[in-house]
Structure 1
């Protein structure tokens, strides 16, 4: 449920906060007062388009904040998926701060993306804005409505159809790509044989290039290395007067002549002896390393030639020796395929045929679920339309086989309607007026509401093109929906406003240079006054108020029935 809406510096709204309740929340106001600004602000919070003209004059930023109360398991799971924590009271707070060139979305205080907000909002609120009923003119919308009605079993089957369709498309694409004429096949075969032969002749060993590069680096720098190592060996060895090794040996001999005189001197001798051994080990290792640095020209040429070959192969077939070996394995598979090309193509064709058969069966199962639910939905929608003052309405959901299969199956879904006796069923868009379309959409929302877990529904001027008795029927239908959902409805009709559980008025006022739009909840007497205004009264006469009271009593009688 949408508990509250807070708006600051948006269009004519300076700062306003309104708290909504369960049931039917009605919003009315004079033409031009900014009634649709409410829907606009909610849409903005949920990712709607914002431009600088929406900012209140003189303001640098605008803010919209929505607070929802929801115990829906799906909402909790979505919060967990987005790594967001619910508020302590379980509420969900969505806000958007808007500046020119910059938007900041937050959920429960954490910064999120617009995409994440939309994903969460889909579970919390359903907005039926002005002219949305025009979407009924598109047959794609008819399938969406039927599919939304079909439930969880349908969704699982629909996913199976989509998976099977994707598999068929991939196999068809692969089959088309693999199709070769004899000339193209011969070229592919010749190239694969050449590349495989080049790789196999190299007799590659994984990691060989790294070892050779290290060896080559050593060869290139061998002279410099040898000169410096020789100098180090001279200073640390024992063959030259003044070298560390020779000096250390003399020091050790001198210490040994007196080490037996004191235990501490024996410890010092041991330490110096260890140093002497370490230095001797260092000199041996150094000598071995210098021996390894001795290369002849033939070895140098062999290493250089091998490295050139490996680098050439890596440039052609991969970044590493492992990549080149893997490429060679792929070439071998290609040759195996080309050597038995006809059998390979037959196998692919058989796989595609099996996938198409699987897809056909999945589509058949999906279509059966659609047809079963279409019969039930047809009756429910017809009953809802009759209640909305389509006295002689005939309605049908037609399912025919489409020319081709898509990811949604092979059904072509279309709503057919007849609103006058004796007239045959025709496509909805060819028969219904704008006002009738809005009532059809309300009927659809009413029927789907029983299957929909979304708690909050917003209707912006669902009463387009209706009046009189029809308006009462729409009012009663909205009240029916409001028994299971929170409903926010913007209207200009007194019949609908009279049914309100909570009545809000949107007002525009001017103070000097400023014009401000505000929204507030009306007490009972104020609501009667607003109903009188909607009835067309210029002043609050007793007659006008009496008519308003009568409408409220009629609405109350419906609520008790």
Structure 2
């Protein structure tokens, strides 16, 4: 959810900080107070285009920071797939715009605008401004249907996706059968040469290390001999016999020297054995010029072969297997191509069959979904609405089937069904999205929803219905809503006021959280639209009380 918003020097906002809560967060304020600036600031941190005109007059730059927390495991995994590591389970997005450039950081790492948008799509959904509405995004309508039918079509969609991957791999394999006879013959000859080159090397695991050790020894034989001879000479100079005789003389007077005497005898034995071993080493390790030449040539040869085919014995052996398989394919080229074509045709038929099953299942669910959304829309003021999901077949199947799905709607009697983007205004789109979110309340993975202009053109019973829907959604999502209707504002879990202030000769917008009494006063202002009387205040308190009672029943 969205925990924190900080805005500095954007439009009328000099400096403002907001701590949002769970559930339903309501923002109210007089017309022109700067509610659109608030949404624009959040949009900047979600990837909207930066406009230098947004910078507060006389300032060098504007700055926005938003903090998200309470991420799901899926959201954290997605962030890590983009090389973004959540800090204490939080994602902190900062955006700074100046007259010359825009700077974007996520958890103190500079990111591109494209990456910011990918992150934002997983965290928050803003409804009300066309350029940020999921309802107008390609593929969203099909996603809504699939989310609604997760239990019914989830396993079938996985089967389609798996079969599609198989189909793509076979297409790529068939595309590789594109060489003429002369190309095939040249590659055959080269493969035979490479295979023979590897096989002749008769590589063995550990051979290179053994040869390298022997080569190192031959290269340094003179140093080795000199060091061994020096060690032998040192041992010759040690007169252990005299030491033993002296201790033996003393032993006759002090038995406690027995252990030292025994140790000296052991040292003498070890010294004599070591001298014999050194003599043996010097005798048998004569430099063998012929063996040195063989070691050098073999080491150079196998290293040369491995360098060409992978660098290690294991990688070279894998390369050999791959080349042998490629050789067999080229030797049976026409037969393998024919076999691949048949397998591809069979796989495509299986894929299309699965796609057809998925389409049929989707169409059944689409009727149920459309009716539920239509019912919700009717309760939110769309009196004679028609709502359907229109299916179009793609020219080729994809990983998600062969369906393209679009919401089509008729908002007025006698009008034909048309795409949402051709029919609905910003406020209408928001209420339609609210209808969809109500139906999908238990399946939507995006935790924070922001609604703007959702109450445009509604009042009375419709406003009450909209407020009930919002409250229901806020049970499972964080909802942030800008409204001018007291019926909706009364249901706030957190109520904020956006106000424009004139101080010291300049104007600025401030956002502050309201306590219970202040919230009632703001409701009274919304109810009265002017002078707040005791009767209006009593009405506001009753509205707040009724909203609390209704909330307990949701």
Q: What is the TM-score normalised by the length of structure 2?
A: 0.77
Q: Which residue of 2 aligns with 1:233?
A: 232
Q: Which residue of 2 aligns with 1:518?
A: 511
Q: Which residue of 2 aligns with 1:165?
A: 164
Partner Cα distance (1:236, 1:75) in 2? 72
Q: Which residue of 2 aligns with 1:240?
A: none
Report the alpha carbon displacement of residue 459 of structure 1 after superposing the two structures with TM.
0.9
Q: Which residue of 2 aligns with 1:530?
A: 526
CA 1:278/1:389 → structure 2, altered by over 3 Å: closer, same or farther? same
The alignment partner of 1:233 has SS state of helix
Partner Cα distance (2:133, 2:90) in 1? 32
Correspondent of 2:367 among 345, 359, 375 = 375
Partner Cα distance (2:223, 2:544) in 1? 106
Matches within 5 A, 1:253-292: 255=247, 262-292=254-284
380-389 vs 113-122, greater mean Cα deviation: 113-122
Q: What is the root-mean-square deviation in Å for CA atoms of aligned residues?
A: 4.8
Report the alpha carbon displacement of residue 490 of structure 1 after superposing the two structures with TM.
0.4
The alignment partner of 1:156 has SS state of helix
Instruction: Tell me the matched-pair count.
Output: 532
CA 1:152/1:287 → structure 2, altered by over 3 Å: closer, same or farther? farther
Q: Which residue of 2 aligns with 1:485?
A: 474
Q: In the TM superposition, what whole-angstrom CA distance separates every residue of 1:217-259 from its partner, at most 9, and x where no partner exists?
A: 221221232233223322323xxxxx22xx2234435555675
Contact 1:41 1:64 in 2 (8 A): no
Q: Which residue of 1 aligns with 2:462?
A: 473
Q: Which residue of 2 aligns with 1:203?
A: 202
Q: In the TM superposition, what whole-angstrom CA distance separates every residue of 1:507-530 from its partner, at most 9, and x where no partner exists?
A: 122332673512232343442123
CA 1:542/1:36 → structure 2, altered by over 3 Å: closer, same or farther? same
Partner Cα distance (1:17, 1:205) in 2? 69
Q: In the TM superposition, what whole-angstrom CA distance separates every residue of 1:306-353 from its partner, at most 9, and x where no partner exists?
A: 222122212212212343333333333333333333443344334434
Contact 2:41 2:64 in 1 (8 A): no
Report the alpha carbon displacement of residue 556 of structure 1 after superposing the two structures with TM.
6.0
Q: Which residue of 2 aligns with 1:33?
A: 33
Determine whether 1:223 maps to 2:230.
no
Contact 1:46 1:117 in 2 (8 A): yes
CA 1:326/1:292 → structure 2, altered by over 3 Å: closer, same or farther? farther
Q: Which residue of 1 aligns with 2:100?
A: none
Partner Cα distance (2:217, 2:483) in 1? 86
Contact 1:400 1:411 in 2 (8 A): yes
Partner Cα distance (1:508, 1:479) in 2? 30
Partner Cα distance (2:200, 2:22) in 1? 81
Partner Cα distance (1:119, 1:76) in 2? 13
Partner Cα distance (2:427, 2:308) in 1? 68
Contact 1:146 1:374 in 2 (8 A): yes
Contact 1:27 1:504 in 2 (8 A): yes
CA 1:405/1:124 → structure 2, altered by over 3 Å: closer, same or farther? closer
Report the alpha carbon displacement of residue 376 of structure 1 after superposing the two structures with TM.
0.6
Q: In the TM superposition, what whole-angstrom CA distance separates every residue of 1:180-220 from its partner, at most 9, and x where no partner exists?
A: 43222222221121122222223322221221122112212
Report the alpha carbon displacement of residue 283 of structure 1 after superposing the two structures with TM.
1.9
Q: What is the TM-score normalised by the length of structure 1?
A: 0.77
Report the alpha carbon displacement of residue 105 of structure 1 after superposing the two structures with TM.
4.2
Partner Cα distance (1:555, 1:290) in 2? 104
Partner Cα distance (1:73, 1:212) in 2? 52
Gaps of 5+ in 1: 87-91, 238-242
The alignment partner of 2:367 has SS state of helix
Partner Cα distance (1:19, 1:158) in 2? 37
Q: Which residue of 1 aligns with 2:452?
A: 460
Partner Cα distance (1:77, 1:183) in 2? 50
Q: In the TM superposition, what whole-angstrom CA distance separates every residue of 1:8-56 from its partner, at most 9, and x where no partner exists?
A: 7575264555565755x53221344232455466668889899997799
Partner Cα distance (2:427, 2:96) in 1? 38
Contact 1:399 1:414 in 2 (8 A): yes
Determine whether 1:312 maps to 2:304.
yes
Matches within 5 A, 1:500-519: 504-512=496-504, 515-519=508-512
Q: In the TM superposition, what whole-angstrom CA distance separates every residue of 1:486-538 from its partner, at most 9, and x where no partner exists?
A: 543202456755776775421122332673512232343442123333xxx4x
CA 1:102/1:271 → structure 2, altered by over 3 Å: closer, same or farther? farther
212-221 vs 318-327, greater mean Cα deviation: 318-327
Partner Cα distance (1:385, 1:482) in 2? 16
Q: Which residue of 2 aligns with 1:89?
A: none
CA 1:498/1:85 → structure 2, altered by over 3 Å: closer, same or farther? closer
Determine whether 1:299 maps to 2:299.
no
Q: Which residue of 1 aligns with 2:383?
A: 391
CA 1:259/1:125 → structure 2, altered by over 3 Å: closer, same or farther? same
426-435 vs 309-318, greater mean Cα deviation: 426-435
